[in-house]
A and B are shown apart, each in its own frame.
Chain A
C-alpha cells in the first residue's frame, strides 16, 4: 500500500506539474500571441485614441455602425460583444483605461442587459487568460464565486472554458487564423433573414440597479469621458415593451431609442436590426448627439 500511495502522490504531482506547464504555455501564447478577439486587441493595445468607443452586447455589436462616425471624422470602434452582459462591457472599459486609452465618448447600449448582474460565461472567459497579467481583470473576477479556482488552480480556467480559450483557440492563435471581429471597425452587420421570427416576449425581464452600469458611469465620470447610454430598437411584436419605460424610470439618463426603428423590414430578428436598420439607427444617434 505504501508503494501505491507513493505512486498516487507521484501521479498527482505529475498532473499538477503538467497543468502548470500547460498553463504557462497557453498564457504565454495569449499574452504574446496574435489578436483574435476584441479582448486580445484591447489587452495588447496601448494609448489608443478614440473619439467614440461603443460598448454593450450584440445589440451594440450589430446596431452601431462606426463607419458613419468615421465619415464625420470621428475615430470610432465598436467593442460590443455578442452574448456579453454589462459585466464584460464594464471590464472592457476598465481594461482600456488600464491600457491608457484616451477616449472622448463612450456610446453604451444598456437595455435588456440591465436585467442581468452576472457575468456572461462565454464572453467573460475571453478575459481569463490575462487574469494574472492585468490588475483590473483580476479585480473584476475577485468577487466571483469561482475566483479562487480560476486564479489559483493551474490550467483550471482553460479546462472550464475549453470551448472559448482551450486548445482550439490556442492552435488558431499559433496559426494566426483571422476572425471577423475587427472587420467594419468591430461592427457586425446582420443580413435579412426571410424566415426570422419577428416576435419576442420580454415580459419576465426586470431592470436592475445594475452594479456594472453604475461602475461604467463612475469610470466615465472619473476620466472625463462623455457617456451616452441608449436603449436600442426592438421589433414591434414584442410582449412586455413596458420594460423600456421601467428602465427609463430607474435610469432617467438612458435615452430610449427603442422606437427609433419600427419597420420589421429593418430587423434581422426581433432583437437585432439588419445592416440597413443599423445604419438608419446610427444615423439618428449621430444626428442627435454628434
Chain B
C-alpha cells in the first residue's frame, strides 16, 4: 500500500476518523490504534515480515531495559552488543549477504579460484534499514545514558512501527518522537491544515515531478549508449529531480499525515538543490540519515577533533557507510566516495560550515557568485547521481564518457516516443515554486491559499503520471 494509491486514500481517512472520534479518550488508545494501523499497513507488503518487525521491536525494547537495569559494566556491554549485533545481523543477512558472497566469489575467481557462492533467495523486507536504525539509535542512546529506557511497550512499539515513517523514514530519534507519543494528542486545526497542505505538496512532488522525470530519466539511462550529450546531461538532471521529488515527496507526505495525528516528525529535506556547497547540501538532504551518521558514527570516531587526516578518514567512513546503507551495490559505495571527495576541499579550508543560513538572491554582484555556487553544487550532485542510478560502475563511467565525447547538443527522440527536452519547462517551474517558498515547508499556505491549492490540484490531476506507476525509490533501501 503506497501513499499515492487508492487503497491508501481509503486507509488514511478511516484511521483518521477512528483516531479522533473513537480512540481519542486516552493516549494509550490513540497509540494502540496507530500500532494496529501500522501493522496492517506493513502487512500489506508481506505479512511474513511483520514477525521480523515485531521481533526487532521486542529485542530493542527488552535490551534497552536490561542495559538500564544492569548493575555491572560487563552486563551493560553484553546487552548492548547483543542488540547491536542482532540488529546489524538482520540487516547484514537480508540486505548485504548476497552482495558479500557474490563479491567474494568474484574476487576468488579473479585470483584463479572458481567458486559458486551460496546465495539467499529472499526478498529484502521493506523498510528494514529504517526501523533497524530507529532501534539502533534508541539502544545506543540508552547505553550512553542520553535517554531513559522506555518501559511502556505500546509507546515503544509505536515509535518503531509508526506507519508514516515505517518504510522510508524519516529516521526518528527516541529523544524526539517518544516524548510526543507519551502525551495524549489534542486536535489542532492549524496543524492539521498544514498537514493536509504538506501532504498534497508531497503528492505533487511524487506523482508530477518524480514520476514525470522518471519517464525521461529511465529512457535515457536505459539506452545511454545511443544518447547524445544533451540527452545525457538532461538524463542526469531528470534523475536528480526524480530522486528528490520521490524521496522528499514521500517525506512531506509522512510529515503531513503525522500532523493530522497531532505528531511532528523530524524534517528530512530543506531545499537541498539551493545549497551553495556540498556540506550545505548534506545538511539539507535526507537530514535524518545525515544527522544519524553524524551523531552515531562521525562523532564517536572523533568527528572534527584531531588532525586533518583523522577528519579525512572520518569523512570518508561516514560517506562510504552512508552509500552502502543505500544498497548492496558498489555504485552506492562509489557515490558515497565521490561525495566524500567533494567534501575534502571544504574540510581542508575549514569552510564546511560557511553556509548555515538560507541562500538569497538579489540585484547585487554577490548574487552572481551565490547563483554560480548553487549551480556548481547542483552539477556536482548530478554527476554523483549518475553513479547512484547506473546499474554498474562501468555503465556510469560509460555514461559520463559519452556525455563528454559525443558533443551533440541537439534534441533527441527517445525510445518512449518523447523528446529529451519535453519535461524541462515543468522542472524549471517546480524549481521556481520551490525557490519562492524555501522558507516554508509547502507553498500553499499564506496569501491566496485557495488559488494556490486550486493550481496544485489542477497540476496533480492534469500533469501527474498515473498509468505508468513507479514505486518510491527509497522503499528498496
Contact = CB atoms under 8 A, between A and B. Distances in A.
A166 to B, nearest CB: 7
A120 interface: no
Interface string B455-477: 00110011111111000000000
B355 interface: no
Contacts of A155: 461
B91 interface: no
Contacts of A161: 467
B184 to A, nearest CB: 15
A162 B466 contact: yes
Interface stretch (B167-175, B188-196, B279-287, B302-310): B188-196
A18 interface: yes
A184 B265 CA distance: 61
B253 to A, nearest CB: 16
Contact of B192 (A4, A18, A159, A166): A4
Interface string A152-185: 0001001111111011100000000000000000
Interface string A1-32: 10110011001001100110010000000000
Interface string B177-218: 000000000010100110010000000000000000000000
A163 B196 contact: no
Given A4-B192, A7-B193, A160 B466 contact: yes
B453 interface: yes
Nearest to A161: B467
Nearest to A159: B466
Contact of B457 (A15, A159, A167): A15
Interface residues of B, number: 21
Contacts of B466: 159-160, 162
Contact of A22 (B418, B422, B462): B462
Given A1-B187, A8-B196, A14 B457 contact: yes
| Interface residue tally on A, bucketed by range | 20 to 34
B115 interface: no
Given A1-B20, A8-B196, A18 B189 contact: no
Contacts of B422: 168
A22 B453 contact: no
A86 to B, nearest CB: 23
A22 to B, nearest CB: 6
B196 A19 contact: no
Interface in B427-477: 450, 453-454, 457-458, 461-468
Given A1-B20, A4-B189, A22-B458, A162 B467 contact: yes
A112 B20 CA distance: 56
A160 B467 contact: yes
A18 B461 contact: yes
Interface string A241-274: 0000000000000000000000000000000000
B35 to A, nearest CB: 23
Q: With a 10 A CB-CB cut-off, give which of B193, B422, B450, B467 has the most chain A CB atoms.
A: B467
B464 to A, nearest CB: 7
A19 B468 CA distance: 20
A162 B464 contact: yes
B453 to A, nearest CB: 7
Contacts of A7: 189, 193, 196
B222 to A, nearest CB: 17
B395 to A, nearest CB: 21
A84 to B, nearest CB: 17
A14 B200 CA distance: 14
A19 B460 CA distance: 10
A161 B466 CA distance: 8
Nearest to B422: A168
A4 B187 contact: yes
A22 B463 CA distance: 11
A257 to B, nearest CB: 31
Contacts of A8: 196
13 contacts: A1-B187, A3-B189, A7-B189, A11-B196, A14-B450, A14-B457, A15-B461, A18-B461, A159-B466, A160-B467, A166-B462, A167-B462, A168-B418
Closest 10 CB pairs of A and B: A163-B467, A159-B466, A167-B462, A4-B192, A15-B457, A3-B189, A162-B466, A18-B457, A162-B467, A4-B189
Interface of A: 1, 3-4, 7-8, 11, 14-15, 18-19, 22, 155, 158-164, 166-168
Interface of B: 20, 187, 189, 192-193, 196, 418, 422, 450, 453-454, 457-458, 461-468
